[in-house]
Chain A
């Protein structure tokens, strides 16, 4: 059991805390707010943190600190994860000090934000940690008081022995408790007795956010720090040939201009080492503005790339990847996808005899859907601070998975992992993009080269034109109906650049006798990456639009039609490995039906669309209400029903669902990143349309299914079905079925 004793002045404590947390130390706001300043004064002379499990530290003065283990990118884990610890530890939430933890996968678990996994993967470990620490404190008190451990109780950070009338604070026993072994399998609280969890708690960083404190990596500053920017090729399919930096070097504040390779030839990339451009042209100077200006004076020759063959190591699974040469355009992407969709594809799942069913069908409905590349457009552009020396490396940056980038840094910098410190800053958005490590590695290499602390800054244009986009997708859905308009076969054939979106075992698999799912892929030199609910964010648009059209053709209510299919999947499921829970899926549909007043006459003035989807272990359904405003469709109201199991922090969860709805409407209406001859046609917000306040709905009503199921994901699941519900409402509003995203562009390009 580690015991940390340090003695230093408050001033140095503040400074070291800022460094350790990358500027994330929040304790003093909280402490001062709750009049615990007398306890801080103890820190002036000696600070003794007794560590109980990796997540909890307690001083003798009973200052209780909980570390948030996981990177924060707006999903509010800084608040929700410590809440779970506090619940089992039995402490008063308002008095707990929350701090961002260091990168330490041994002590603090996987430390990965993505896949809507933060709460799901930390739920049990953090409950265990809180309960174990509480048990250790009880044990220490029982030993000290020489009373049976079963008779010792806790309440809100205090320990009691009723019979003898003895009591003490957690702090009184923290030192002794920290010397005990961490018990395993301590009984957890009954979820019905939760006091912290399931009660809305404010964002613990709220005050720092609204007062503009330096929480983000781009805010990081330190003595002697230089600014670096990278001039990347103007087009995908181009690379650096040569450059003349003489004019750039004459510009004020410029220190150096050089090229370097991100990965040496033959470097085996890990799954998230995606890099778009390998030869980096770097400008280093004193300030961002000076470097931005000096870049304009570069004289650079670019040349076409040749085909690249490389091996990627996807967490142990080796994958050969071919990156084609050439300057690609969106127009040819669409025509290539169209042609490829007619060719045979890989069978992903087959139930029954779909071929015969389609042959014998009285009616076949076939529709094809497309969606463009999307840029993540995190409001904080990619950036990272690095200070690399021959002995060690310090990275301060916004990254969703420090544990994934560390092995790469270790190889590239030739430093052992324990000499690499990665501090996790609050991220100005992530949405999947910050799971990729290119900018972290670039910053490290640049710092090593210039032998100085460096902050690598991407301009908005750099950020938007770098790639790692949401893939382009298409899918053709076919349904076979018999003479009585019963659905007898269902076929999805999906493809994409460079990956297909199909989740073969998801609904309506399991609900149709004859089912076929297929996928195909086209390679590209435009890089792609995870984007809020990968694959799902397209499927839920296409499939849920198709089901809506199908219900109409069958003369059924779209919600009732889905519920009928789910009933079939429950009572007599087709095939194996259906990966959704029928009752939970139906549950969100029923809830949204009730809450939205579906089919109620008072809602007749709205063009209503519904969609539901399952992904990342959770279930979401939306009813979208569209009206005409200034002659354009406007989403005025949305009703959302979510089943993500136990909701840790209800108001924050509601915020996240509302945000996912707004984000979904924006991307469905406007989102597009297109290319011409390899050049991204949108490089800033003047050309890439983002949803704005005026276009956001007036009301988004969020309802959670109440149950005691262990929490599942929430960041991603509400997002995909927004697209389908929007498409279905747009049909009601305009009379046009929309098959190509972004919908508003499709609508305005093809007016009725």
Chain B
């Protein structure tokens, strides 16, 4: 076990965990932030997507020991009340079916739009291809990303 000082959603958080613990489980089970989802554990589904210094990463393959001073943003920190343009676009398009993968989808989309405010279809496809949705909401996800880009 080791103590880590993490910066999560703008706040300093201290955890005492095994260094190999993925940030996914640190968030979910040590910091009580279950918005980041477990889907595969092998970085193949994107349900666990968070931002590390603003970039989308899969937290299931990110050991807590590797975070260092980089800033973590989770869905809980994207906005307090769903006011982030991507979240608003998700509501506008009523994207979700079961909803389980959607926080990961939103985090991936938000990171894309941060660096590329007007992505092409191909860029959206490339960025969002790491996030699986078994309910098949991909068309609405794509539409929502485009709407969010317009709002920005």
Contact = CB atoms under 8 A, between A and B. Distances in A.
Nearest to A292: B41
Nearest to B108: A693
A659 B130 CA distance: 18
A428 B132 contact: no
B40 interface: yes
B129 A380 contact: no
A74 to B, nearest CB: 3
A655 interface: yes
Contacts of B137: 655, 658-659, 662
Nearest to A207: B82
Interface in B84-132: 87, 90-91, 94-103, 106, 124-126, 128-132
B77 to A, nearest CB: 10
Contacts of B40: 460, 684-685
Nearest to B138: A696
Contact of B76 (A76, A211, A216, A287): A211
A166 to B, nearest CB: 40
Given A210-B90, A379-B98, A663 B136 contact: yes
A61 interface: no
Contacts of B91: 202, 206-207, 210
Contacts of A431: 134
Given A429-B135, A460-B42, A685-B42, A210 B106 contact: yes
Interface in A631-658: 651-652, 655-656, 658
Contacts of B81: 211
Interface string A203-238: 101110111111110110100000100000000000
Given A211-B82, A655-B94, A666 B136 contact: yes
A307 to B, nearest CB: 35
Q: Which of B30, B87, B130, B136 has the most CB of A within 10 A?
A: B136
Contact of B39 (A215, A288, A379): A379
A215 B99 contact: yes
Interface residues on B, range: 35 or more
B102 A210 contact: yes
A202 B94 CA distance: 6
B87 A379 contact: no
A721 to B, nearest CB: 15
Contact of A460 (B41, B82, B90): B41
A357 interface: no
A510 B132 CA distance: 42
Contacts of B72: none
Contacts of B17: 289
Interface string A670-696: 000000000000001110001111101
Contacts of B37: 216, 218, 379-380, 428
Contacts of B103: 209-210, 212
Contact of A426 (B44, B99, B141): B99
B129 A212 contact: no
Interface string B29-64: 110111111111110110100000000000000000
A85 B1 CA distance: 54
A277 B29 CA distance: 29
A498 B99 CA distance: 33
B30 A210 contact: no
A537 to B, nearest CB: 14
Given A211-B81, A379-B45, A429 B142 contact: no
A212 B34 contact: yes
Given A684-B44, A685-B42, A694-B129, A379 B101 contact: yes
Nearest to B145: A693
Contact of A684 (B42, B82, B139): B42
Interface string A272-301: 000000000000000111101100000000
Given A202-B91, A212-B74, A661 B136 contact: yes
Interface string A683-721: 011100011111011111000000000000000000000
Contact of B97 (A76, A218, A461): A76
Contact of A693 (B32, B38, B97, B128): B128
A692 B139 CA distance: 11
Given A214-B34, A429-B100, A660 B106 contact: no
Q: 6 closest A-B pairs (Cβ-Cβ)?
A: A212-B35, A662-B136, A428-B100, A74-B98, A212-B75, A659-B136
Interface of A: 73-76, 202-203, 205-207, 209-216, 218-219, 221, 227, 252, 287-290, 292-293, 377-381, 426-431, 459-461, 651-652, 655-656, 658-663, 666, 684-686, 690-694, 696-700
Interface of B: 1, 17-18, 20-22, 25, 28-30, 32-42, 44-45, 47, 74-76, 79, 81-82, 87, 90-91, 94-103, 106, 124-126, 128-142
Given A210-B75, A212-B76, A288-B38, 18 more contacts: A74-B96, A205-B99, A206-B91, A209-B99, A216-B34, A221-B32, A287-B30, A288-B29, A377-B134, A379-B100, A428-B101, A460-B40, A460-B45, A652-B94, A655-B94, A662-B137, A663-B134, A698-B139
17 contacts: A212-B36, A289-B21, A293-B20, A379-B101, A380-B100, A428-B98, A428-B99, A428-B101, A430-B98, A461-B41, A656-B97, A659-B97, A659-B137, A685-B39, A686-B44, A692-B130, A692-B131
